[in-house]
Structure formats: structure tokens, C-alpha cells
Amino acid sequence: MSKSDTLTHLRNQNLKYIVTCLVWHGCHHITDSMHPRHCPHPYARGGFGTIYRGMLQSGLHVAIKCIESHNDDKFLEQSKGLRRAAREIYVWSRCSHKGILPMLGFIRLKGQIALITPWMESGSLQRHIVRGLLNTPLCTVLGYI
């Protein structure tokens, strides 16, 4: 087995373990609920990941947040990205506030795990901040976080 094959195997084992842990902690693994052509192209990119617009088999449009890391050591960064994504999925699954989008679950995507939320046409929090659209309810949510 080559070094590349070994690293791929280790990454896949790490991914399986993380998926198992998230499910054990009550997070919903919904890969099988995604529409087969759920995310062909990135919708937006940010500092820590890529957002895709997808659809569940039920017809609900969703945002797919795939946390990515960029570094020369690809295996190390993918491992860090998996841990960051798992932590965000777990924490978000525990949030309960009327101003925070519910996390519908997570999926396996391109060797990573991605967070799934309902799609919001109004855009991201960053977009609201940049445009000066902060209001009292939004500030209350930020205080909750």
C-alpha cells in the first residue's frame, strides 16, 4: 500500500469514526435524504469553507456548509477540518433559539462532513453586518451565541 493509499485509508477511518460519534450524540446523518444532484457547484466561499445550495428528496432547499482547511499538509488539514466540522455540527445541534436556523443534520460530502440547514434567501450574517442591517432581534441572537 502506497503512502497516499495509507493516508486515504486513515482519513476514511477517521471520517467513519466521527460520523458514528455524531450519530451517537444525537446528530442526524441525512446523506441518504439528499437529492441525487444536490450540489454540483459552490454557491459561495468564505474563510473556513464553501456553501452549496442543495435540495432534500422532500423538495426542501438547503444550505450545505462544507468546512475546508488550506495548508501544505493535506492529510493534517483534512483531519483538522473533520474535527472542526464535527465540533460545529455538534454545537449547532444543541442550539435552541428562535433566531438561529435549525440544523437539519449532516452529510458526507467529498471525503468530509457538511452541515445542513434550511436555505435562507436573505443571505448570511456577514452580509447583514456589512450592510448595516443589524437590529435588536439579530443582536439578541448574537448575544445567545
Would you give per-residue pLDDT tens digits along the chain (145 residues)? 665 555 455 566 688 888 998 999 999 999 999 987 766 678 888 767 888 999 999 999 999 998 765 554 555 556 777 888 888 888 888 888 777 788 999 999 878 889 999 998 766 556 656 666 555 565 565 555 5
Estimate the crossing angle of helix 74-94 against helix 3-24, to 10 degrees.
10
The CATH number of the domain covering residues in 3-144: 3.30.200.20
pTM of the model: 0.74
The one-letter code for the residue type at 42 is: P
Residue 126, classified by CB atoms within 10 Å of its CB into exposed (0-12), middle (13-18) or buried (19+), is: exposed
Q: Output the pLDDT for position 99.
A: 72
Rounded (10°) CA dihedral 127, 128, 132, 133: 160
Q: Output the pLDDT for position 100.
A: 76
Q: Output the pLDDT for position 8.
A: 57
